[in-house]
Chains A and B, each alone.
Chain A
Amino acid sequence: MLIPGVDPYSIFRKRCFAPDSGWAAGEQWDFFLSAYNASERVRTVYSQARADKKYWVIHPEYRLIGDALPPEPKFEPSANGEDEFVIDLVNQLILNGYDPQSSSLCIDITGMLRPHLLFLVRALQKQGVSRFDALYSEPAYYRQKAATAFSAGMFSGVRQVAGYEGISNIDTSSDLLIIGMGFDAQQTKEVAEDKDKAHKIQLFGLPSLRADMYQQSVLRSREVADWLGDPSFAPANRAAAPANDPFVTANILSELVAEREARHPPTNIYLSPLGTKAQALGFALFYIGECVGKNRSIIFPFSTEYSPKTTKGLSRIWLYGIEFPIFP
């Protein structure tokens, strides 16, 4: 239940560790999942995490095959689309002993593709999972700073993410699109163009993971200012949420939407998480908490391929405790 004046997502627990703090000694799960890519931070965390069963998740979009794949146990769902991929994944997890009602689970979301991450959270909620941990490791820096492109292949189009498809209002006269801003200007452009006539709010990661990342993100947004319908970079079109905090992100989204609803209810609301995975998790929580069954959807610019190595180093590790239902 939403209580006026109280940040609804502030009840969730988050902890932060230094990579060399021996953090893993205090944590133990039945199952640990991590999407494999070539980033150092993903492999380091996987090796440190303690769980009875640890599995890599292999996203075909990273185009890693043969020797490029890790030797450890892995799930390689072959299904297309985030929904069928994740359902295959959860089924394989269950076949390997995972009990949604009783097993403890930690998911390193760092390497997971955003639509898959979003649907996984929704699928776990629908499975009746009452709690799981999400882990996110911050990079030391992005390899090409503001020029880092995460989507490497062809865009295959913008669409709603499975599990986050709201009611479609035929009146589209005052649609709202909130974009979680990242570094990939092309992704931003695709989303903005798809919901061309929606009023757009850019939600930047601030504080950002590293000092200069906010500025870099703003620079990229200026490249697509035309598509964002924001040629003069008006403050009213901007908002900020910490890049490493899904709960504050969810709070900010909740406030933004509530404020809009109170002032002039949007005909449709679209959310597009293009920032960090931690923010994407925040989008998922906000949606599950406040948007299901309404004229609100999460949309994403899908790509056929993603770059498997966009970062260097590992600076901090975050552990987020997710509990369902979000509002008991």
Chain B
Amino acid sequence: MAETGAVNPFNITKANDLTDPEVESLWVDVRGEDSDAALIASVKPASPMPMFVLGGKGSGKTHLLRYCSYTIQKIRYAKTGLGLLEGIQRDRYIGLYSQCGDLNPGRFAGKRQDEEVWREVFAYCVELWLAQQALAVGKQLVADAGLTPQAERALCANIRDLFDKMPAQAATVADCLIQVRQLQRNLDYLVGNAIFSGELPVDVQATRGRLMFGIPAALAKAIPALRGVNFVYQLDQFEDLTLSQQQHINTLVRERRAPATFKVGGRQFGIKTHATFSDGEVNLKDSEYEELRLDERLRNSGTLYKELAKRLAGRRLSQASAGDAGEDRANLAAWFDQPDIRWNSDYFREISPEDVVQERAHFLRLIDQLHAAMPVGLAPQTRSERTLRRIVEALSVPDFPLLEKVNLLLFYQDWARRRPLLDAATRIACQCAAFLAEPEAKSQYRTKLGHFKADLMAQMLRENREKQVYAGVGTFVRMSEGLPRAFITLLKQTYDWSALQREQPFVTGRISLEAQRRGAIAGSDWFYNSMTKAGADGPKILGAVDRLGQLFRLHRFSDKPIESSLIGFSVKERDASHEARQILQVATSRSFLVDIFGGQRDRNSADTTTKLQLNRMLAPRWDLPTARRGIVPLSSQAIDAIFCQDQGRAFEALKREWDAKLNAPFRPAGKRSGDDEAATRSGGQPVFL
């Protein structure tokens, strides 16, 4: 295993930063009982049906596509002792990987030329680009197949026939490649010079699709071993193309000819259109193309993603330690320190160590609240210090501070319902005593403890000025929401913090809670700062997510949180404003919000609503939970207040409204300020309250 001071095995988080051998060696897959669950199977690398591989940043698209590319295929064959054509015959595909940004697509615009001209020039450029991809691989295939010079000349003649304006007869595929490369160079020069010359005299020498589809067909005809093998143009980072450029690629997808096909990789939000230039037809999912939503698939796969994440980490550790037992998954969890959070654990006494219960932070707060509420009649049937003391005494459980927090939660719930407070405290004391007598017996008290334990623990930490806990490999897996890069980033940051604290991560001992917490915060910051891309929506998304985080934090640390582990909400989108709907949509497509599969029924009606949650990578920013249990239905007015940038005042009113309803003395509606009343009337209150 790595020594302290060694290179962080999680340093490289992006597939683009990996070398080809690293892409191969760091690849891991999962295999459930159903082999279709494997990642490699999900992308159907040999299928002739085009596929869009979509996912958020860091969902593993690039790693997956690169793993299926010719360069990595060759590495795999070499490792397993297969010859090139032998391996390809087994795989039944050749992956021709490139990134759309490599075309420098921004240059196909302006320069005093019409859009129509640029459309044609871009199409020609793509033609030459992909033709070179096919020829570069073809050159090696011809060599491996041992084609005679005559056969190669015949192949070159067939390739030459694909041009409208035939180039000189080439003797080898390598010469064909040089010819096409020269055409590309000429085109690049004309494009760059157009602004100076004022013209773009491009001599298009091949009709759209002739080369990119024709060359694979010619190769398959010349090399028998390639029969039945698909040439898969893997175009990654589709989002880098303009709408018109995407339309051109969509046209190629529609008009593809065997044995060539496409895999298009991109971010969800990067798909600007599925329209084509083929008589205005639009490509239809499952008709012209299939779609793989990678992070959604991983997120919804439950245990499979957990397995994948652990294998990913194990592989990194294994690589760093030259084949040590890094992939031992059982051991991975053991490296991470975790607190004992059973209700009777000493951990809670350590958080709240005062022997005199009245001096514990949660009781000090209660006493202050009662003192403030009693004189104005807001503490039902509680008028004297004596009653106050009896309440505190009833709710106290000196040895188990966590149970005191449960008692207080129940007490605040009764207070909000205007029940006599001493009666409530007495009843709760009985429930608590029953639980203590028989902790395993089913009871409402036990259920409440189970549901709210994480929130109550978070409250205890905050009340006692302790740091929140984000710990354990399971927590990091959950936080990463199906984005392997997010998971690796969390491990990378945690490793760095651990090393900084002079620990020996993955060498000896455990990674401390503090290193894990700092790692989680750093990972969260990375996510927050990196998931937006250039564009006007970025600040709007961040603004909306900030507001949502503030509300959930307010709820979590309130006296009477209604839902446990609240980071989710549901909304009837059709009732929200256009702007709010738009921001909801882009925040989801950029992974700030996560669509909870299936939607949910509104509690008060049969309408299906959209159910979303804050991405758990963001949880540490607002001290939120990484597990999700509750969902709050939000009214359309509340959604507007959160998601419309100019609704700052409405949002502040919404916050005040939540604060008043969730915190003692639970001021009744008639006793709130004018602004809050306005918010209530406008529907700005949380519906679930």
A residues bordering B, Cβ < 8 Å? 80-81, 83-84, 87, 123, 126, 154-160, 162-163, 165-168, 170-173, 189-190, 194-197, 226-227, 229, 231-232, 268, 293, 297, 301
Contact = CB atoms under 8 A, between A and B. Distances in A.
B680 interface: no
Closest 7 CB pairs of A and B: A159-B106, A155-B534, A165-B192, A197-B16, A196-B16, A83-B195, A167-B188
A167 B195 contact: no
Nearest to A292: B192
A165 B110 contact: no
A232 B11 contact: yes
B133 interface: yes
Contacts of A172: 98-99, 102
A159 B534 CA distance: 13
Given A162-B195, A226-B13, A293-B189, A168 B526 contact: no
Given A154-B534, A170-B133, A226-B13, A165 B98 contact: no
Interface string B605-648: 00000000000000000000000000000000000000000000
Contacts of B530: 189, 226-227
B102 A160 contact: no
Nearest to A229: B17
Which residue, A172, A226, A268, A301, has most C-beta atoms of chain B within 10 A? Answer: A226
A189 B533 CA distance: 10
B645 to A, nearest CB: 14
A96 to B, nearest CB: 22
B526 A226 contact: yes
B168 interface: no
A229 B103 CA distance: 22
Contacts of B132: 170
B81 to A, nearest CB: 25
Interface string B543-563: 000000000000000000000
A170 B192 contact: no
Contact of A168 (B102, B534, B535): B102
A154 B535 contact: yes
A172 B106 CA distance: 17
Given A196-B101, A232-B7, 9 more contacts: A84-B195, A154-B534, A162-B110, A165-B191, A166-B192, A170-B129, A171-B136, A197-B99, A226-B526
A156 B16 CA distance: 23
Given A166-B188, A168-B188, A155 B101 contact: no
Nearest to A199: B17
A197 B16 CA distance: 5
Nearest to B186: A167
Interface residues of B, number: 41
Nearest to B14: A196
B103 A168 contact: yes
Contacts of A81: 110
B238 to A, nearest CB: 14
B112 A84 contact: yes
A190 B188 contact: no
B426 to A, nearest CB: 57
Contacts of A84: 110-112, 195
A301 B534 contact: yes
Interface in B172-212: 181, 184-185, 188-189, 191-192, 195-196
B376 interface: no
Interface in B68-114: 98-99, 101-107, 110-112
Contacts of A160: 104, 106-107
Which residue, A162, A172, A173, has most C-beta atoms of chain B within 10 A? Answer: A162
22 contacts: A80-B110, A155-B534, A157-B534, A158-B534, A159-B107, A162-B111, A163-B196, A167-B185, A167-B189, A168-B188, A170-B102, A170-B181, A170-B184, A171-B136, A173-B20, A190-B534, A195-B101, A226-B14, A229-B14, A229-B17, A297-B104, A301-B534
Contacts of A162: 110-111, 195
A189 B20 CA distance: 24
A294 to B, nearest CB: 10
Contacts of B17: 196-197, 229
Contacts of A231: 8, 11, 492
Contacts of B7: 232
B536 interface: yes
A126 B196 contact: yes
Contacts of B14: 196, 226, 229
A197 to B, nearest CB: 4
B534 A83 contact: no
A126 B196 CA distance: 8
Nearest to A163: B195
A224 to B, nearest CB: 9
Given A166-B192, A197-B16, A226-B526, A157 B106 contact: yes
Nearest to B11: A231
Contacts of B536: 154
B214 to A, nearest CB: 18
B306 to A, nearest CB: 25
Which residue, B103, B110, B129, B133, has most C-beta atoms of chain A within 10 A? Answer: B110
A85 B473 CA distance: 55
Nearest to A200: B17
Contacts of B192: 163, 165-166
A163 B192 CA distance: 6
Contacts of B191: 165
Nearest to A267: B102
Interface in B1-47: 7-8, 11, 13-14, 16-17, 20
A194 B104 CA distance: 10
A138 B196 CA distance: 32
Which residue, A166, A195, A196, A232, has most C-beta atoms of chain B within 10 A? Answer: A196
B104 A165 contact: yes
Contacts of B492: 231
A170 B133 CA distance: 8
B195 A87 contact: yes
Contacts of B106: 157-160
A45 to B, nearest CB: 30
Interface in B132-173: 132-133, 136
B111 A83 contact: yes
